Amino acid sequence: MLGSCSSEKFISEGKRVLSDVDLKSAESSVDASALRGYVRQEANAKWFNLVKVPLGLYCVSGRDSTKGINKFFRRIGEAPVIYDSTLTQLSENNLSMALINKGYLKAQTQTLLKEKGEKHIKVKYLLRPGTLYRIRTIDYQIDHPELEELIQKHENKSLLKIKMPCDANILDEERDRIISLLHRNGYYNVLKNHISYDIDSTRGPESLDLKLKLEGRTISKDTAGVYTQFRVRDVIVDVNLENELTARLDTMTYRGIQLRYYGKRQIRPNVIYSQIKLMPGDIYNEDHIQSTYRNFSNLQALRYSVIRMEPADSGRLDCHITIQSNKVNALSSEVEGTNTSGDMGVAASVSFTNRNLFRGSEVWTTKLRGAFEAITGLEGYSDEDYLEFSAETHLSFPRIIVPFLPEKSRQKLNGHSDFAIQYNSQNRPEFHRRVLTGSWGYRWQNAQNRIQQKVDVLSLNYVFMPWISNTFRHDYLDSISSRSAIVRYSYENLFIANSGYSFTYNSAGAAANGSIYQKNAYQIRLGVESAGNLLYLIAHSAHARKNEYGNYTLFNVAFAQYVKFDFDYARSFLIDGRNSIAIHGSFGIAQPYGNASIVPFEKRYFAGGPNSLRGWSVRELGPGKYVGKDGKVDFINQTGNMKLLFSTEWRSYLFWKFHGALFIDAGNVWNTRNYDAQPGGQFHFHNFYKEIAASYGLGLRLNLDYFILRLDWGMKAINPAYESARQHYPILHPHFGRDLTFHFAVGLPF
């Protein structure tokens, strides 16, 4: 239907539709695709670079633009792109200039037009770079000896190198680097236009003579002050200046800085002082201004901050800082619907947040949550629905609180200290479960927000099973035929005391905003966690008694002991403005030892679900080639203590806020030990590749900027749970009722 609707009915006489734009280079040394952004007019967009669906949707509409149906198709579609010769000429000039800026000083671009019928035209840009010009010598001409000495001292960080291409972009970046260096060392008045280049090309393309000139005294009217090294005279902080006309002014001096409160002192002076990196008497440093901005932006008690530097007298600057308080209290609520295997339910929560608990931007959050689910079809159990109640409280300090750590060291760490307590109560027809959790940890990040680190000093988890129904106990815990160490261990009282460390690196830094979506960027995550070591050492040294399963106990409750390691890598490759390729790989292993032979259920890995292999539902795959038998408790058996996952997606912009994806997922989970209840679930290096599952599918994403709603349809491609070729390779024998899985989720899979 889309193909039969021609765009020619929308084209006036003498106009042509731009059907295609091709970009090629006459020399293999130049990547033409990297210069695509310099083309000023592109043809109509293609979904996944294959089909012009937006144009087809537009062409479905009729000529009458007043009809509602025609308005709808035109709104979601894309009008035909009318060829513009002026934009073609601009594109040709842009491409030539881009090549010249890269060092091909005699580059040219040839434009070839090919008419397709009377109404269509194709444009091809042929790049002819020519010879690449390289730098033979580098010389500096600086009209101030102190600046010359400073620049030469940091010459090892220079971007200019012998034999490098004469790239205008690199030359400009070197100017920025030098100006930044000078601004970090007090030279407030030096500007970028004080730096220029002289290039002598008379010796030929391989023998350019480059001269970098810093001529502040020559260019600037203020010949005396342009090279003055400035220091900070006064630091003045105005708190809640918006209340200037209505509130009482409260002034004070704290450790050399002047504070002016307009109204109550909502933020303590020592908190404000600790966030400021420019102090009276310091040499002016531009980086310290940015650090101060970042520090204030991390305080939730503040709405915004403004910093301005003003000349005070010869060689000194005044630093004026304005900060405005945020609303202290916030109340929010959420309601959600749930569906677990056909059992419908509802959940609701309410949260209270105080952003300035002790007048130091401490954030205290308390949340209450309740859930109900109507459970049907459980034979042999009492007619009881699922009820859940949880309460949690979290306190975060905007600084690292460590005893005996010097104040200067704490200020260098742009971090937070977190304390949390949570209680969760679950009542099911099969059992009742209570979980009490407490945690204490730190998190911090570097100045560019590329590196984030977290230390869980101590996390305590107490799992208590106050009641288990006789039917469930007989069928799964006491019966010899159904006995499973993993199932039994998952329904016992358990105590976990663990510590951990995690490291995250995002190459996009602050620009990533927590994601690498539609960017040329990558992200690495590492995590290490250990539990039970100190408790085991104490119990073993004290010759404590063991329970019937050979485990040491604490208050008659066995404690877990394990070590866990996780590695996660994600990368996004931007193809063009509408398409990108994203890859993701993860590996994890959690090894029990000492006081435990099984990793706790909460710490085990599972495969399947919207963020894993999307051809399977959550905990429906593995471990290894294990085949699930009993859906009531088999989700516990379908876990492992080792995982290996890989995914790749082709992400493409469709229209409005909709994006599409084509994906392939592969991987599985295994156990490093053999458990009788999980035949085929143990990892063996010589044949694990035969047990790797795979799925493929397509997705639809609604990008609402603040969050992304995602629909994914996954089909099984390789199913290691079956031996027969028809079931093992469903990609060759697809069956939608058996192999198709639908997922709805919030956020990207990786």
pLDDT band at 728 (very low <50, low <70, confident <90, very high): very high
Is it the case that residue 1 has pLDDT exceeding 50? no
Enumerate domains of the chain plus CATH numbers: 8-128 (3.10.20.310), 135-219 (3.10.20), 231-325 (3.10.20.310)
Cα distance between residue 68 and residue 621, in whole Å: 48
Cα distance between residue 371 and residue 346, in whole Å: 6
- List CB contacts of 636: < 8 A, sequence separation 6 or more: 484, 486, 487, 490, 601
Cα distance between residue 309 and residue 440, in whole Å: 40
Cα distance between residue 439 and residue 358, in whole Å: 21
Neighbours of 412 (CB within 10 A): 11
Is it the case that residue 524 has pLDDT exceeding 70? yes
- Which pLDDT score, from 0 to 100, does residue 48 have? 86
Specify the pTM: 0.86
Q: What is the DSSP code (8-state) at residue 257? A: E
pLDDT band at 199 (very low <50, low <70, confident <90, very high): very high
pLDDT band at 2 (very low <50, low <70, confident <90, very high): very low
Helix (H, G, I), strand (E, B) or coil at 46: coil
Residue in 528, 641, 543 with CA at minimum distance from that of residue 593 = 641
Cα distance between residue 191 and residue 222, in whole Å: 12
Q: Amino acid identity, residue 87?
A: L
Cα distance between residue 58 and residue 543, in whole Å: 79
Cβ atoms of 595 and 536 closer than 8 Å: yes
Is it the case that residue 514 has pLDDT exceeding 60? no
Q: What is the pLDDT of residues 604-628, one digit of tens each?
A: 999 999 999 999 998 889 899 998 7
pLDDT band at 410 (very low <50, low <70, confident <90, very high): low
Is it the case that residue 212 has pLDDT exceeding 80? yes
Is it the case that residue 188 has pLDDT exceeding 60? yes
Cα distance between residue 367 and residue 395, in whole Å: 12
- Which pLDDT score, from 0 to 100, does residue 724 have? 86
pLDDT band at 3 (very low <50, low <70, confident <90, very high): very low
CA separation, residue 577 to residues 37, 45, 372, 479, 517 (Å): 8, 10, 45, 61, 12
Is it the case that residue 205 has pLDDT exceeding 90? no
pLDDT band at 635 (very low <50, low <70, confident <90, very high): low
Structure tokens at 185: 């060392």
Is it the case that residue 475 has pLDDT exceeding 90? no
pLDDT band at 414 (very low <50, low <70, confident <90, very high): confident
Is it the case that residue 482 has pLDDT exceeding 50? no
Least trusted range by pLDDT, from 184-198, 262-276, 376-390, 469-483: 469-483
Cα distance between residue 348 and residue 351, in whole Å: 10
Phi/psi at 409 (nearest 5 deg)? -70, -40
Q: What is the DSSP code (8-state) at residue 77? A: S
Cα distance between residue 622 and residue 644, in whole Å: 12
Helix (H, G, I), strand (E, B) or coil at 539: helix
pLDDT > 70: percent of the chain: 93
Cβ atoms of 212 and 139 closer than 8 Å: yes
Cα distance between residue 513 and residue 100, in whole Å: 34
- Which pLDDT score, from 0 to 100, does residue 381 have? 76
Cα distance between residue 138 and residue 158, in whole Å: 11
Q: Report the b/e string of 468-506 with b at 16+ CB within 10 A.
A: bbeebeebbbeeeeeebebbbbbbbebbbbbbbebebeb
Cα distance between residue 622 and residue 108, in whole Å: 59
Neighbours of 738 (CB within 10 A): 12
- Which pLDDT score, from 0 to 100, does residue 53 have? 86
Is it the case that residue 393 has pLDDT exceeding 90? yes
- Which pLDDT score, from 0 to 100, does residue 447 have? 74
Q: Would you call the peptide bond into 623 cis, given omega within 30 degrees of 0 as the criterion?
A: yes
- Which pLDDT score, from 0 to 100, does residue 411 have? 67
Is it the case that residue 695 has pLDDT exceeding 70? yes
Q: What is the pLDDT of residues 312-368, one digit of tens each?
A: 988 999 999 999 999 999 999 998 876 665 567 899 999 999 999 999 999 999 999
Neighbours of 255 (CB within 10 A): 12
- Which pLDDT score, from 0 to 100, does residue 59 have? 82
The edge-to-edge listing of strands for the beta sheet with 257-262 is 249-254, 257-262, 231-239, 316-325, 302-313
Rounded mean pLDDT of the chain? 89
- Which pLDDT score, from 0 to 100, does residue 51 have? 86
Least trusted range by pLDDT, from 181-185, 188-192, 436-440, 477-481: 477-481
Mean pLDDT for the stretch of residues 523-530: 96
Mean pLDDT for the stretch of residues 405-410: 70
Least trusted range by pLDDT, from 49-53, 350-354, 407-411: 407-411
Is it the case that residue 452 has pLDDT exceeding 60? yes
Cβ atoms of 162 and 210 closer than 8 Å: no
- Which pLDDT score, from 0 to 100, does residue 345 have? 82
Is it the case that residue 380 has pLDDT exceeding 80? no
Q: What is the pLDDT of residues 266-306, one digit of tens each?
A: 999 999 999 999 999 999 999 999 999 999 999 999 999 99
Least trusted range by pLDDT, from 360-374, 442-456, 509-523, 589-603: 509-523
- DSSP E strands, 201-342: 208-214, 231-239, 249-254, 257-262, 302-313, 316-325, 329-340
Residue in 473, 469, 570 with CA at minimum distance from that of residue 512 = 570
Mean pLDDT for the stretch of residues 495-501: 95
Say if strands 135-142 and 208-214 run parallel, antiparallel, or are unpaired: parallel
- Which pLDDT score, from 0 to 100, does residue 6 have? 65
Q: What is the pLDDT of residues 673-691, one digit of tens each?
A: 988 878 888 999 999 999 9
